[in-house]
Amino acid sequence: MPENQFGGQQYLLLPEGSSRILGRDAQKTNIAVGMAVANAVKTTLGPKGLDKMMVSDLGDIVITNDGATILEEMNVEHPIGKIMVDIAKTQDKEVGDGTTTVVVLAGELLKGAGDLLEQGVHPTTIVRGYKMAASKAVDIVGQHSREVKAADEAILQKIAMVALGSKNIGDDATKLQIAKLVIRGIKQIIAQDASGNMVIDTDFIKVEKKAGGSIADTQLINGVLVDKEITHPSMPKSIHNAKIALLDVPLEIEKTETDAKIEITSPDQMQAFLNQEEQMLKGMVEKIKKSGANVVFAQKGIDDVAQHYLAKQGIIAVRRVKKSDLEKLARATGARVVTSLEDLGPEDLGFAGMVEERKISGEQMVFVEKCKDPKSVTLFLRAGSQQVVDEAERAIADVIGALSSVIKDGKCVTGGGSIEIDVANGLRNYSSEVGSREQLAIQKFADALEIIPKTLAESAGMDPIETLVQLRNKHRSKGGTAYGVDIFKGSIGDLTKSGVIEPSKVKVQAINSASEATEIILRIDDMISSRSRSRGPGAGMPGGMGGMGEE
């Protein structure tokens, strides 16, 4: 940035080493970065999408085709790239699925905006047109949606299979098995709030993973799996009809926070001191026994002496249990978390048909299962290697997100690019009704949506242009709105027959997030970096930020 000159006096407005890029150059750079991020994940879209391998500085390997995971592991430096990463994360948190879709769509919207900027269309006009198009697109998705209820098991299975489709975690039979497990788990945790509205807190579906076995060994536990071991070897390894106490209190003599000094002048006093400590711990165990509990999960520590007395009473004890696991145990067993042993009574205990310690891949784990009506369940994932079990965990997260979204929202649409073609056709008709220059942006929005069926066709080895033309023609004809890219047949087809169904909420969230991110990026015409040049020109800005003095 040049120094301002007033009467021959020079003033430096930015710290030395700062960099700046502005005007059309800033817009071009931002659009190029956004498109580059989108292209990085584009080939992972759909069931035939390819995986990416990321290797960290420490040599850790991640193999995945989950859009949000790829972008997070890429450690993108450019601020515009970070905006693209953020929309993928938002999509993941809100609906669980469609992370690649939202990034690819945002990249294509930026590309369309770049074309309009070259033609001299003002960024404000493009932003206004994109806002109008996004609002209309959401309306069109709503018009083409159909209702789904939690009881529609067949439709829920199809939605789950689509979410699992792009993940390399076994054959179709295994994926169907996992889909059924997730559906059972979600139905188990459905609750109602004070107003009678449906509530699905997916945090109460605990996903525990362990390499070893095969993906087909994955199971749903009607309870909680705690990745801890029983504290004392003399304790029982399993208990039927367990009465469970959940303690947020240590079973040990706590040290005082202030400095304390105890003077002992004889062996008798020393023995009396030790006996007193032992009696206190014994008293704690007596209170637990008196409540009727035969299983204890403690968030804090359990003294060795207390462990001994618990073992003598035939009580299983597990210590250092995570707070989140304690909450899940409370939801699953009906127990209440107790913060004082004085208050522990039979009414505070929970129930489980079985509490058992089992050895899984060389590690001890405690299974709390066969609960009566658990509002917290555990999906225990198995797979042949750590990479596969990690990818299975990401796949399960996508399925849980997709299913919980469609059950709460109650609406779904056909996938395979068919809904995108419908929306694109609707936007083109809408643009002809808009008399202003915004119609150019609306048409670009429609073109951008078609990147989804085009990319699906490319990944299936089909001709993308020919596929797009065929789909447009089918959707203009009567009864052809369900036609999309049938990946496995390598042609276009009626996707209601193929069972390719997706939640409407995934599409709506993708459209809104991609549109808003694009609008933010297009409104930027000046980028100032105060970072030192010690990391290189335009540090943190791929392609450089340009030097000072580029006005």
Q: Give me the residue spans of the domains in the chain.
A: 24-147+414-535, 224-373
> How much of the chain exceeds pLDDT 90, in percent?
49
Environment class of 547 (CB within 10 Å of its CB; exposed 0-12, middle 13-18, buried 19+): middle
Model pLDDT, residue 274: 67
- The pLDDT mean for the chain works out to 86
Selection from 5-9, 251-255, 332-336, 430-434 with the highest mean pLDDT: 332-336
Rounded distance, CA 37 to CA 89, Å?
Answer: 14
> Taking residues 393-418, what's their average pLDDT?
90
Token pair, residue 261, equals 């000094």
Please tell me the distance from the alpha carbon of residue 180 to that of residue 156, in angstroms, as a whole number: 9
Residue 9 pLDDT more than 60? no
Return the residue matching tokens 């699905």: 200
CB atoms within 10 A of CB 81: 22
- Return the pLDDT at 166: 76
**In this predicted structure, what is the pLDDT of residue 285?**
92
Whole-number Cα distances in Å, 435 to 139, 284, 431, 438, 515? 20, 79, 8, 8, 21
State residue 477's pLDDT score: 79
Query: CA separation (Å) from 147 to 382, 410, 475, 503?
Result: 34, 5, 21, 10
Nearest partner of 379 among 203, 172, 228, judged by Cα: 203
Q: Nearest Cα to 540, choosing from 90, 75, 85?
A: 75
Specify the amino acid at residue 405: S
What per-residue confidence (pLDDT) applies to 549?
A: 37
Q: Counting runs of H as helices and runs of E as strands, what totals does the chain give?
A: 17, 23
CA distance 323 to 333: 15
- Say what the pTM is: 0.82
If residue 530 lies in a helix (H) or strand (E), which one and from where to where? none
pLDDT of residue 142: 92
Q: Is the pLDDT of residue 35 over 80?
A: yes
Superfamily grouping for domain 24-147+414-535: GroEL-like equatorial domain (1.10.560.10)
Q: Judge whether residue 215 has pLDDT over 70.
A: yes
pLDDT single digits (tens) 426-448? 999 999 888 788 999 999 999 99
The pair of three-digit structure tokens given for residue 82, joined into one six-digit string: 């970070």
Calpha distance 400→183 (Å, rounded): 8
CATH architecture observed for domain 224-373: 3-Layer(bba) Sandwich (3.50)
Average pLDDT of span 333-344: 91
Q: Which range among 101-110, 243-252, 267-276, 356-365 shows the weakest confidence by mean pLDDT?
A: 267-276
pLDDT at position 15: 64
Compute the distance between CA of residue 487 and CA of residue 462 in angstroms, rounded to an integer.
Answer: 9
What pLDDT is attached to residue 255?
Answer: 62
The residue with greater pLDDT, 25 or 147, is 147
Amino acid at 331: R
Q: Which helix (H) or strand (E) holds 256?
A: none
Q: Where are the beta strands (DSSP E) in 142-182?
A: 146-147
Q: Which residues are catalytic?
A: 66, 99-100, 398
User: Fold identical between 24-147+414-535 and 224-373?
Assistant: no
DSSP SS3 for 444:
helix
Instruction: Give yes or no for residue 46 having a pLDDT over 80.
Output: yes
Q: What is the pLDDT of residues 132-150, one digit of tens each?
A: 999 999 999 999 999 998 8
pLDDT number for residue 461 = 86
- CB atoms < 10 A from the CB of 75, how many? 11
Quick: pLDDT tens for 499-538: 899 999 999 999 999 999 999 999 888 776 776 444 444 4
Say what the pLDDT of residue 258 is.
Answer: 61
Percent of the chain at pLDDT exceeding 70: 89
